[in-house]
Chains A and B, each alone.
Chain A
Amino acid sequence: MSKVRVPKIVGADVELSNFILGVSSGQGTGKTASRMLLGEIDGIESGVSGAAEALDVGRKYLPTSGGCAYIDSDHLEIALPETFSAFDHVAHWRAMLNVARAAMRRVNARLPDGCRLQVLANCSDGLGNSYGSHLNVLLTRTAWDEIMSTKPHYLAFLAAFQISSIVFTGQGKVGSEREGAPADFQLSQRADFMKTLVHIDTMVTRGVINSRDEAHCGPRRGLVQPELARLHVIFFDSTLCQIATVLRVGTMQMIVAMLEAGEVEARLTLDDPLGALGTWSRGPMLAATADLVGGERRTAVELQLEFLEAAGRFADRGGFDGIVPRARELLVLWDNTLRQLEARAFDTLSRRLDWVAKYRLLSGMLDRRPDLDWNSPVVKQLDQLYASIDDDGPFWALERARQVEQLVTEADIDRAEREPPSDTRAWTRAHLLRLAGDDRVARVQWDRVHVRTLSPHSPYARTRAVHLPVPYEATRADNGRFFLEGASLESVVEGLQAADRLPAALGPALHGSWTLSNGGKQ
């Protein structure tokens, strides 16, 4: 393992389904619903606008967790703060759903009788429209280039992993969309919307591997070493089960870590990845097979078991040490889940995998109601409602009835709602936003915060940039010493800029400008 490797920091940007029942509108109610929701979320406006943000409206960062919320294509989008541990990611995902749920309740309290705002954490409306639950994984620029440009078997390895992972990452859905082959039930909501193997587009020609190259790691490339990149993973469904979520995130951390180290087994790649995706998604009995490039045939579970074995060998050589936290626990969970899938132990899997829970929920209903079938509107309604974030959503009812396995505690989730992760740059972002407050934050992006500092000797406020180019730096351990009780914004910024990793020669250009102290947000 001579290659440079970096901690597998993860984030997520997730679009939610939002609409208002009881309102008749030919245009749909998503636009109104998303804006009402965002209006109820407290945060500090990013102050960034422009062509790149054309679809991205009203972004506000949360001084509590360091994440943010905004509107994307008439969906409320929630973006989690960067976390290092997949387990922390689970807590922050749940915490952000709590933020959205609280906003939804406040909106509903104001709506007239007969109207109700609904918010669903799924990825398809069942009517041919999909919206994303994107996972972001940090990797070196070298690894990014190898996956996207120079080593096609790396890309094929990643695609084969993602596609076969639908056996535990799918939320499940009724029917098929977008001219997909007919199906009563599918494991994956996104499968019908994957049109090619790799593509930069996220809205029409979606690829299993998305090649959008936005690192969010500094104002320009090459300023920090090793040069960093972000793998923007658009393939997965939103998952609500905690074990499904930790596996979705943790196994991706491990696979990306293996790619970064060159630990790639080309024999595990699929002959026809998109064909395999369509077939496996339509096979809840998990018996369908697909060809590997070498001609052998595998079920999705069998292929996943081979990825697991490869990851286990890598772990035995210390491959995940310092790169993927709690990798041993993740491997045990992964192994245990695949063994249950192999045995089709659906009675127990319904406690940890969304698609199994949903399938059993709907199958149970069909058993009790012979007048219904998979095409019945009430079945499709329930398919959608599974992911309702409201208290009466079936998933939450199952969880309250202790029918869903827990990994993180309510205290963990509550803390994630109030506090940023301590071991990523989200910690400094959140604390800087708290200290500056809305009035003195000029702009915020993932990798920088511009604040206005004051001086008793000048009528001008100076807009100064704190750069956060390295997601695994600017942690509490790195910067806690600057945020002492009673410290001024000016003194904290002085300290943070002095500790900045960006080259000093570029400092004046990168670190600030002057504005009148009573000037508005830039």
Chain B
Amino acid sequence: MSTRERRPEERIVPPAGGANPEPAAISEARDAGDAFLRAADTAIDRALSGTPEEFLRQNRQLGGQ
């Protein structure tokens, strides 16, 4: 088993080449991506409350099936 993998911290980026999409499709995908990221920012702000350390302490679960 060998791995030809980029490090995850390099971030996922839109495809370059490959499917050779039309410029309009690229623009549409970018717009969709921007809209997602704007919604994600709002989602993060709403979701986070309290201290993360306390959350992670309380979050511990009994192993299940």
User: Which residues from chain A sit less than 8 Å from chain B, CB to CB?
Assistant: 15, 17, 19-21, 23, 28-31, 72-75, 118, 120, 125-127, 129-132, 134, 183-185, 202-203, 234, 272, 275-276, 279, 282-285, 287-291, 339, 342-348, 350-351, 356-357, 359-361, 363-368, 373-374, 376-378, 380-382, 384-385, 388, 392-395, 397-398, 401, 403
What residues on A are CB-neighbors of B10 within 8 Å?
285
Q: Is the CB of A398 within 8 A of B39?
A: yes
Q: Is the CB of A360 within 8 A of B12?
A: yes
What residues on A are CB-neighbors of B62 within 8 Å?
28, 30-31, 73-75, 129
Please tell me if B23 contacts chain A, counting CB pairs below 8 Å: no
Q: Is the CB of B47 within 8 A of A131?
A: no
4 new A-B contacts at CB < 8 Å, known A21-B58, A129-B64, A288-B3: A134-B65, A361-B44, A385-B48, A392-B46
Cβ contacts A to B, 22 pairs, < 8 Å: A15-B65, A29-B58, A75-B64, A118-B59, A125-B59, A126-B56, A126-B59, A185-B8, A202-B65, A203-B65, A285-B10, A288-B4, A350-B33, A361-B43, A365-B44, A374-B9, A377-B56, A378-B52, A380-B56, A381-B55, A397-B42, A398-B40
User: Which residues from chain B sit less than 8 Å from chain A, CB to CB?
Assistant: 1-15, 18-19, 21, 29-30, 32-33, 35-37, 39-44, 46-48, 50, 52-56, 58-65
Q: Is the CB of B4 within 8 A of A287?
A: yes
Can you name the residue of chain B whose Cβ is closest to the Cβ of A299?
A: B4
What residues on A are CB-neighbors of B5 within 8 Å?
279, 282-283, 285, 287-288
Q: Is the CB of B64 within 8 A of A285?
A: no
Q: Is the CB of B44 within 8 A of A343?
A: no
Q: Report Cα–Cα, A359/B62, bound state, in Å.
A: 26
Q: Is the CB of A287 within 8 A of B6?
A: yes
Q: Is the CB of B61 within 8 A of A388?
A: no
What residues on B are CB-neighbors of A363 within 8 Å?
11-12
What residues on B are CB-neighbors of A285 within 8 Å?
5-6, 8, 10, 12
What residues on A are CB-neighbors of B36 within 8 Å?
347, 350-351, 357, 360, 398, 403
Can you name the residue of chain A whose Cβ is closest to the Cβ of B42?
A: A397
Can you name the residue of chain B whose Cβ is closest to the Cβ of A181?
A: B3
What residues on B are CB-neighbors of A351 within 8 Å?
32, 36
Q: Is the CB of B50 within 8 A of A21?
A: yes
What residues on B are CB-neighbors of A129 within 8 Å?
60-64
What residues on A are CB-neighbors of B60 within 8 Å?
19, 28, 125, 127, 129
Q: Report Cα–Cα, A31/B60, bound state, in Å.
A: 12
Given A360-B36, A378-B48, A394-B44: A184 in contact with B7 (beta carbons within 8 A): yes
Q: Report Cα–Cα, A445/B45, bound state, in Å.
A: 44
Q: Report Cα–Cα, A279/B64, bound state, in Å.
A: 25
B40 to A: closest C-beta gap in Å? 5
Q: Is the CB of B43 within 8 A of A364?
A: no
Q: Report Cα–Cα, A339/B21, bound state, in Å.
A: 13
What residues on A are CB-neighbors of B59 within 8 Å?
17, 19, 118, 120, 125-127, 384
Q: Which 3 A-B pairs have the closest CB atoms?
A: A131-B64, A347-B33, A397-B43
Given A130-B64, A203-B65: A382 in contact with B47 (beta carbons within 8 A): yes
Q: Is the CB of A28 within 8 A of B61?
A: yes
Q: Report Cα–Cα, A75/B60, bound state, in Å.
A: 12
Given A28-B61, A72-B64, A359-B12: A291 in contact with B39 (beta carbons within 8 A): no
Q: Report Cα–Cα, A304/B36, bound state, in Å.
A: 27
Q: Is the CB of A234 within 8 A of B65?
A: yes
Q: Is the CB of B43 within 8 A of A377?
A: no
Can you name the residue of chain B whose Cβ is closest to the Cβ of A378?
A: B52
What residues on A are CB-neighbors of B63 within 8 Å?
73, 129-131, 203
Given A73-B63, A75-B64: A343 in contact with B1 (beta carbons within 8 A): no
